[in-house]
Amino acid sequence: MLREIAYCLLGLAIAAYSLEYVLAAGDDPKEPARLRSGPPLVGHIIGIYRHGMAYFSKTCKTTNEEIFTIAIFNLKLYISNSHRLNAFIQKNSKSLSFRPFIKVTVKAFGDASPETDKLFEGALLDDFSHAMKNGLAPGPQLDEQNLRMGIAAVRHVDELVEKEEIVLIKWVDDAIVQATSAGVYGKNHPYTDPKVVAAFWKWMEYNLAHLFGADITGKGYAARAIVFKAFQDYCRDLPDDCSFVVRERLRTLYDHGVSMDEAAKQEATFSIAAFPNTIPTMYWVLYEVFSRPELLQELRDEISTQAVSRMEGNGVLLDVSALKTKCPLLLGVIQETQRTRHMHANIRKVMQDTVLDGKYLLKAGNYVQMPGAPIHASAGIWGPTTDAFDPHRFLPKPDNDRASGSFMAWGAAPHLCPARQFATTEVMLITAMLVLRVDLRPTEPGGWERNPEVRTDDSSTLGRPLKELLLRVEKRDGWQGEWKLEMGESRTRISLASG
């Protein structure tokens, strides 16, 4: 019996290697070289299942090739391991396009009806993207959105300072969901209902499965339906404090003939980009700041001298415009956190055969991925201290000759995250208030691990922590009065390294 099993396994192995050899024989010699997996045929599938988007960064460490192929049966993923080649990919934005993935999310995440899906094959797709970009551009409308978000954030920090202990990730989850939603959807937003919040996170557990229609139990679809229903109720009677970007997105959908119920489902998908990406960024910024006493003091000095003033009594006025323009170390901490903990891989579809740099043939119907981690870890770009956490590397310098496109936390041009100004403002605001108002310390010795494990089974740009961290909250004297916000110049733009 054992001999028969051994022969069977040997036969399967020979068949797998033979099939992989046959598939590879069809490669064009100009295509990037294949990166062999462990087990033939299924090795890369196993790797992607185990590590998610982080798998592409891991594979980059195993080869010196500046671009290589990960083959999954007949499908090819061309993985760029080079900042130099990324520039060529970005220049070929029509033949190497992100547009098909916007279309995919409309159906897979937004559950578009056949009629709505058909509309997105025309001008609606570009018009919808432009509405998003224009609606989030710096100006009076974004200021109003930032102010609503900031007021909600102040309230959450007010509540935090009265606590003795918090579980950091749970507090960040709640603060970001509520503050972001207040900014975007107004005070009476759909996520004021805890059942809708719980349904959203259950939906996210199945989000990647929905890309492949693999939600076998239907639990993810059921949770999504709860979120959709909440947004349909919301869109039937938009509140006066609804943001400009929401109105623009809905107007665009309605103008192209999308029904209200269908438009509300697409509006609900905004949360997928907002919460799962801002939350881990916020978490790790706080983690890095409060685990480094010298950096914490530097930030306190910068923020207290550049961005706050005292009001009558014991009040504190936080100048949001000054935070964005006069606190380069605070911004540097955020960007260094993104650089060192980034795990996302930007993706493009090959729409037609394309030759990069006159050397590498990318064949139509396949995909190109640009992992950010190899670029963010390149000593050629970031210098010999690339492995160190050093927020000072982002401080303005007259001799800064770092190549454009070397910071990929917000995507790769021309498809940068349109909400990057809003999200960065949110992280800056919350960090500034916590830095001045409290000390946060782990309740257990050794709580500040340098490289704690993270989840890699989702598509967020930074990984969520696997382990919860319990922190003791201690008020700081002199900073516990009433806090208010001043918005400042309406077109103030944060000088992000990504542009």
Please tell me the predicted confidence (pLDDT) of residue 146. Answer: 96
Work out the pLDDT band at 24, boundaries 50, 70, 90: low
Phi, psi values for residue 448, rounded to 5°: -85, 80
Of residues 244, 289, 209, the one with CA closest to residue 132: 244
Give the count of beta carbons closer than 10 Å to the beta carbon of residue 104.
12
Of residues 311, 358, 332, 314, the one with CA closest to residue 431: 332
- What pTM value is reported for the model? 0.92
- Contacts with 103 (C-beta within 8 Å, 6 or more apart), sequence order: 120, 121, 125
Of 259 and 60, more confident: 259
Structure confidence by residue, pLDDT tens digits, 449-466: 988 999 887 778 999 999
Of residues 236, 273, 252, 261, the one with CA closest to residue 119: 252
For residue 57, pLDDT beyond 90? no
d(CA 393, CA 332): 7
Please tell me the predicted confidence (pLDDT) of residue 168. Answer: 98
Residue type, 327: C
- 327 marked as part of a ligand binding site: no
For residue 8, pLDDT beyond 70? no
Mean pLDDT score, 402-426: 89
For residue 49, pLDDT beyond 80? no
For residue 67, pLDDT beyond 70? yes
Task: Locate 202 and state its tokens.
Answer: 């259950």
Structure confidence by residue, pLDDT tens digits, 232-268: 999 999 999 999 999 999 999 999 999 999 999 999 9
User: Which domains does the chain show, CATH number per domain?
Assistant: 1-96+348-377 (no CATH), 140-183+273-342+389-486 (1.10.630.10)
DSSP 192: G
Q: Are strands 360-362 and 354-356 parallel, antiparallel or unpaired?
A: antiparallel
For residue 56, pLDDT beyond 70? yes
- Which region among 39-43, 158-162, 225-229, 239-243 has the lowest average model confidence (pLDDT)? 39-43
